[in-house]
Amino acid sequence: MDKILRIDMGAEGGPKAKETGLDAYSGLGGRALTSSIVAGEVPPLCHPLGAENKLVISPGLLSGTGAAMSGRISIGCKSPLTGGIKESNSGGQAAQVLARLGYAAIVLEGKPPGDSLYKVFINKDGVKIEAAASLRMLPNYDLIDKMKEQYGDKIACISIGPAGEMKLSAASIACTDPELRPTRHAGRGGVGAVMGAKGVKVIVLDDTGLKARPPKDLEKFRAANKIFVAGLSSHPVTGQALPAYGTNVLTNIVNEAGAYPAYNFKDGQFPGASKISGETFAELETQRGGNPTHHCHRGCVIRCSGIFNDKNGKFLTKQPEYETVWAHGAHCGIDDPDAIAMLDFLDDNYGVDTIDMGVAIGLAMQAGVAKFGDAEAAINLVKEVGKGTPLGRILGSGAAITGRVFGVENVPVVKGQALPAYDPRAVQGIGVTYATSPMGGDHTAGYSIATNILKSGGYVDPLKPEGQVELSRNLQIATAAIDSTGMCLFIAFAVLDQPETFQALIDLLNSFYGLELNAGSVTDLGKKVLTVEREFNKKAGFTKEHDRLPRYFYTEPVAPHNITFMVKDEEMDKLFDW
């Protein structure tokens, strides 16, 4: 993993690939690498769909090794959704396979003429780029079926659906899971539109004949991994709750906390929550021969993903994630698990972010395009995206555009990106993250829910403004570092609560690379990543005024706590002063 594959999609005579060393980017992986390349090489005021933008796909520092949980991939660019820098993170097999192939990053550069469409195939023998007009507008599932026919089932694919080809601002990039289904997505920020603008439909990765990356000190590495895995298994969140119910274990918890936004953030609790909870989904999945406990990539020991079968016991989609269930569920007043699973499938198939898509549908409902609670209408609305109708294009452009086009006032977005499944008034810490993250409205960027609600890493009262900035700061720093390792963010629960698991993570890095990192180095890396991202955003025109929630969160209280967002602007403006 000491080389970068750069493909100039706009080269004369067709796309040209070349390999370079890591050079200035040496020692970086995942988000640290994608953000450094984007910040270093992309003009901040360029058009996100233009030749000057770059799409950077990077496994983490530990991806492709024997380290547990190391299968996350970072996809970075200037975002068509936010206009700022973006790192969108996905599970699935791609990180492990790409890392074994030896690439620290694939960088798609330039732009082909017209609407040329290409397929990229990479294996141990090298890189092949071929015109792929026959794949045009294929949904992800059909596309992957074709790739399987051609390349067999030992591959991993990174692909876009019709939404990416249409360059819609909420288009995602799909990564296949171990069963070669396009279920894991770099959903946020419209990264799929950038891949579409580069004219790349799919990147097929085949690591046949290649082994796991060898650590410098194998023995220490194995020992660290053992402690690391034991820590994850012994923590109640990563060892019990997530494997049993997946991320959707949160529905009942967050609803109980009064922080579960219903009907476009009108309420903090949803009457139908129990009907779409993780517990309900898990039961349904088991009944129908699906599986509530499944790994999304090789080496995952938490296994929070799952398999959702339809009423006939036939695979429909992955177990929908908590935020997906919320966006298509409570936010739209829908409490039908089968409808939500269908919406999840359609999103994955067309290649759109489930969060921005669900929030957009709720906004359309608020504007009267459909009624809250009408699941059939919601399904038809997502199908419009697949058809590429004007209505589908609006919705597929995400929540901010949908709110604008339909004249809605209360539009839950920050920096143009839809807020996820936690009301920032009832969990003030997540409000700080939404407001200040360089990524725009994003829960993963500094997941205060861990501490505000789940009491991991201490406890900060979610209903009070005190302590939230510090909490979000620490979590944003830690997250930026973790997102650079290729580690799944869910390790954070154990890492926050168990000093030995945190040490094991550091030991994994040290034994693999022969380094001498400590806790301070991890913090430094996180700060460095955030600084680079903030610098890019500043040059792209972002100011402290963009580090705010939409006005109504400050003026309209939400039940049941009847409070507004109370963290002071001046305090938030100091979040990145370290």
397 binds a copy of itself (CB under 8 A): yes
Residues 550-569, one symbol each (x = binds a copy of itself by CB under 8 A, - = not), give xxx-----------------
d(CA 70, CA 488): 6
409 binds a copy of itself (CB under 8 A): yes
Tell me how far the alpha carbon of residue 221 is from its chain's centroid: 28
Query: Which CB, 76 or 550, lies closer to a copy of itself?
Result: 550
Q: Pick from 13, 114, 390, 520: which binds a copy of itself (CB under 8 A)?
A: 390
d(CA 161, CA 86): 20
d(CA 171, CA 164): 5
**Tokens of residue 164, six digits:** 């990416």
Cis peptide, bond prior to residue 560, ω within 30 of zero: yes
Q: Pick from 127, 138, 197, 432: which binds a copy of itself (CB under 8 A)?
A: 197
Q: Pick from 9, 108, 132, 166: which binds a copy of itself (CB under 8 A)?
A: 166
576 binds a copy of itself (CB under 8 A): no
**Tokens of residue 77, six digits:** 């660019």
Contact 433, 440 (CB under 8 A): no
303 binds a copy of itself (CB under 8 A): no
Q: Pick from 543, 557, 562, 578: which binds a copy of itself (CB under 8 A)?
A: 543
Q: Site size for a copy of itself, by CB under 8 A?
A: 41
Query: Which CB, 210 or 391, lies closer to a copy of itself?
Result: 391
- For the bound state, the minimum distance from the C-beta of residue 47 to a copy of itself, rounded and expressed in Å, comes to 5
Residues 321-360, one symbol each (x = binds a copy of itself by CB under 8 A, - = not), give ----------------------------------------
- For the bound state, the minimum distance from the C-beta of residue 484 to a copy of itself, rounded and expressed in Å, comes to 27
d(CA 261, CA 431): 13
Q: Pick from 23, 125, 545, 570: which binds a copy of itself (CB under 8 A)?
A: 545
Q: Pick from 11, 49, 517, 566: which binds a copy of itself (CB under 8 A)?
A: 49
Tell me how far the alpha carbon of residue 319 is from its chain's centroid: 16
In the chain, what is the straight-line distance between the N-terminal and C-terminal CA atoms, in Å?
Answer: 32
- For the bound state, the minimum distance from the C-beta of residue 113 to a copy of itself, rounded and expressed in Å, comes to 13
424 binds a copy of itself (CB under 8 A): no
- Window of 231-239, 298-306, 405-413, 438-446 that interacts with a copy of itself by CB under 8 A: 405-413
Which of the residues 67 through 86 are near a copy of itself (CB under 8 A)?
A: 80
Long-range contacts of residues 495-502, Cβ cutoff 8 Å, at least 24 apart: 495/231, 496/450, 496/451, 496/456, 496/457, 497/235, 497/456, 497/457, 498/231, 498/234, 498/235, 500/227, 500/231, 501/227, 501/228, 501/231, 501/232, 501/235
Q: Is 354 exposed, middle or buried (0-12, 13-18, 19+ CB in 10 A)?
A: buried
**Tokens of residue 87, six digits:** 């790192």
d(CA 311, CA 313): 5
Query: Which CB, 360 or 379, lies closer to a copy of itself?
Result: 360
Residue position matching structure tokens 């919320």: 326
539 binds a copy of itself (CB under 8 A): yes
147: enclosing H helix or E strand? helix 140-151
- For the bound state, the minimum distance from the C-beta of residue 40 to a copy of itself, rounded and expressed in Å, comes to 18
> Which residues here bind a copy of itself, judged by CB under 8 A?
43-47, 49-50, 52, 80, 166-169, 193, 196-197, 389-391, 393-394, 397, 401, 404-407, 409-411, 539-543, 545-546, 548, 550-552
